[in-house]
């Protein structure tokens, strides 16, 4: 009841503010300056947060193609300022109708080598982001759909400079050169190398007329311009003609449906934290970790100190043990969402944490409503992008999009790269004793994701913060650490994003190399933790609202993100 009263009070507050009719400060935080500029231009025309997100994403698919694009999927969390409503939009890829549980098994029944499964049509799921963007635009758009495509079309036709990060990704992705379309796009003849081609370097001007033509078709025809006709035919041809072929059909594409779902929300301290429900594991796992940590006074502990990091690691290990066993596409398998977030269950899990000693490998619990499942191996790669946008009316978008690994399945169609999201399924459909794996492959099923777009409301139900990150299954740890820095330690958004990364996926504690956090390794090891040091290239983008109502943004210095701000006087009304 208290939560309901808080939210009702917040609705009255935001309605009173909205009734004034005056535009407020707007802000965008995306993974690339050109995407942020496209989003800001849309906001300046009076566009909504969803309008700006679509414009930014279409640019990202061009200038950051290793991470996301229209050949993949996304999860979008939207908060409407005027009503206080939170919506979750699911644009996750689906397995084609031909997919079976043994999709990634060799003839002897053993799982395929990971990269053998990735490269080619076998790993490509039916892309979902175009339908999802259309669904969100129908509900929350203000500018015409076709207007949102203009920045990306212009860049694709006129050319854009290859960024250092894209050039680095191209240099590390030699299998791209085996795909004729990709080779023609991103490589140049060079007799000094055995295969006669070298990927382009930083600063090279690229044009992509095929992508521009595809976008113009979708701009004019809506989703049908992607899921039917020449673009759909190009996708199916690329998937089915590869040596490692997949079984996608035109019917799979035409039948794809985006889904609006209920977000998962839970109180943490005086805040309300909301995330994506299954098929993403991000929202549930994040809330489970926070629910266990709520039993400890993290705000009194030294930020990023040994005790705080020990507690964070232990709670993360316990949550990941449950994630790996119980979380998958809830339209296909029973996921005990209420049980996993049950306060008594999380208190029992938190009681397993010894403040001075690691529990080692955590075992899955028995949340209320759970059925017998087996753990599924998670081997996804870190190729994803996140954007956060607040428009002049206070509406908020937190969206994470992906083609799974860098450059997805390493094949192109109609100017864009196709995803390899099906490798997010467990390769083995059951354990040796026959116990089924929740995240096994099935036709029409959506693979489990770790994408964690997050929106936080304050004690009055007002927007407080929104954030997310790329990073495969490490996304959850990146987001949780940043939330603790914001909510418990009162960091600014940029300050929270800048902190060294620390995470635990129910394995070793991972400390970000080349940062001062590595000095804590001996102390953590003395508590029984296995510790490894590695580069942890999060790509957090976030926006927070201060006590004075002003927005402040943060972009991860580990990547190429940019925050841009629009003052109220710069906002016009849509024509």
Q: Which residues are catalytic?
A: 384
In whole angstroms, what separates CA 172 from the centre of its chain?
22
Q: Which of 2, 5, 14 is nearest to 549 (CA)?
A: 14
- Count other Cβ atoms within 10 Å, centred on residue 534: 12
Q: Which of 397, 392, 387, 389 is nearest to 79 (CA)?
A: 397
261-to-187, 310, 387, 450 alpha-carbon distances in Å: 41, 34, 20, 16
In whole angstroms, what separates CA 453 from the centre of its chain?
6
> What is the DSSP track for 397-424?
EEEEEEEESTTTTS-EETTEEPP-GGGG
Tell whether omega for the bond before 279 is within 30 degrees of 0, i.e. cis: yes
Are the CB atoms for 378 and 198 separated by under 8 Å? no
Kindly give, in sequence order, each residue whose CB lies less than 8 Å from that of residue 491, ignoring residues fewer than 6 positions away: 303, 485, 499
Kindly give, in sequence order, each residue whose CB lies less than 8 Å from that of residue 57, ignoring residues fewer than 6 positions away: 35, 68, 74, 129, 133, 387, 399, 401
User: What is the helix (H) or strand (E) element at residue 531, kind and residue range?
Assistant: strand 531-534
Instruction: Determine how β-strand 509-512 pairs with β-strand 531-534.
Output: parallel
382-to-12, 108, 207, 420 alpha-carbon distances in Å: 42, 29, 26, 12
Provide the edge-to-edge strand list for the sheet that holds 73-80: 259-261, 85-91, 73-80, 396-404, 383-390, 26-30, 562-566
Burial of residue 144, with CB atoms counted within 10 A of its CB: 0-12 exposed, 13-18 middle, 19 or more buried = middle
- CA end-to-end span of the chain, whole Å? 42
User: What is the helix (H) or strand (E) element at residue 30, kind and residue range?
Assistant: strand 26-30
What does the DSSP 8-state code read for residue 435? P
267-to-2, 51, 335 alpha-carbon distances in Å: 11, 30, 21
> What is the DSSP track for 186-223?
HEEE-TTSTTSEEE--TT-EE--HHHHHHHHHHHHHTT
């Amino acid at each position: 009841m208290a939560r309901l009263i808080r939210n009702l009070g917040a609705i009255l507050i935001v309605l009173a503010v909205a009734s004034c009719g005056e535009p407020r400060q707007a802000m965008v935080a995306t993974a690339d300056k050109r995407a942020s500029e496209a989003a800001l231009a849309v906001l300046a025309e009076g566009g909504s947060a969803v309008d700006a997100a679509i414009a930014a994403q279409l640019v990202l698919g061009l200038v950051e193609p290793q991470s996301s694009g229209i050949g993949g999927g996304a999860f979008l969390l939207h908060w409407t300022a005027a009503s206080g409503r939170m919506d979750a939009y699911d644009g996750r890829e689906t397995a084609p109708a031909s997919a079976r549980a043994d999709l990634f098994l060799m003839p002897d029944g053993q799982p395929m080598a990971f990269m053998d499964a990735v490269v080619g049509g076998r790993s490509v799921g039916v892309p979902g982001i175009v339908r999802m963007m259309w669904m969100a635009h129908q509900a929350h758009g203000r500018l015409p759909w076709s207007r949102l495509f203009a920045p990306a079309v212009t860049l694709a036709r006129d050319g854009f400079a290859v960024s250092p990060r894209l050039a680095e990704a191209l240099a590390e992705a030699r299998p791209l050169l085996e795909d004729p379309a990709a080779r023609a796009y991103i490589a140049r003849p060079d007799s000094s190398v055995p295969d006669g081609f070298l990927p382009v370097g930083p600063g090279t001007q690229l044009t992509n007329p095929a992508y521009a033509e595809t976008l113009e078709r979708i701009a004019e025809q809506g989703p049908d311009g992607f899921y039917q006709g020449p673009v759909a035919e190009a996708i199916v041809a690329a998937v089915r003609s590869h040596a490692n072929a997949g079984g996608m059909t035109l019917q799979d594409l035409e039948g794809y449906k985006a889904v609006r779902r209920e977000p998962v929300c839970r109180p943490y301290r005086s805040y309300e934290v909301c995330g994506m429900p299954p098929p993403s594991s991000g929202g549930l796992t994040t809330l489970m970790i926070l629910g266990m940590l709520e039993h400890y006074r993290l705000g009194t502990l030294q930020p990023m100190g040994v005790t705080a990091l020990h507690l964070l690691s232990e709670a993360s290990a316990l949550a990941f043990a449950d994630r790996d066993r119980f979380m998958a596409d809830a339209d296909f398998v029973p996921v005990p969402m209420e049980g996993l977030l049950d306060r008594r269950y999380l208190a029992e899990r938190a009681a397993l944490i010894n403040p001075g000693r690691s529990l080692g490998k955590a075992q899955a619990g028995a949340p209320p409503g759970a059925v017998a499942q087996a753990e599924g191996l998670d081997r996804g790669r870190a190729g994803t992008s996140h954007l956060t946008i607040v428009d002049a009316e206070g509406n908020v978008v937190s969206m994470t999009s992906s083609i799974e690994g860098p450059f997805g399945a390493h094949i192109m169609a109609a100017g864009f790269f196709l995803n390899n999201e099906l490798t997010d399924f467990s390769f083995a459909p059951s354990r040796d004793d026959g116990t089924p794996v929740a995240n096994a492959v099935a036709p029409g099923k959506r693979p489990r994701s770790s994408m964690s777009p997050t929106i936080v409301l304050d004690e009055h139900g007002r927007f407080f913060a929104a954030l997310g990150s790329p990073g495969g299954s490490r996304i959850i740890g990146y987001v949780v650490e940043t939330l603790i820095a914001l909510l418990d330690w009162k960091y600014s958004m940029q300050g929270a994003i800048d902190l060294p990364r620390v995470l635990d996926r129910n394995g070793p504690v991972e400390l970000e190399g080349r940062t001062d956090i590595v000095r804590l390794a001996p102390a953590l090891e003395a508590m029984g933790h296995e510790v490894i040091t590695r580069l942890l290239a999060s790509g957090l983008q976030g926006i927070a609202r201060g006590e004075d109502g002003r927005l402040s943004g943060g972009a991860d210095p580990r990547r190429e993100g940019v925050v841009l701000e629009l003052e109220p006087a710069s906002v016009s009304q849509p024509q």
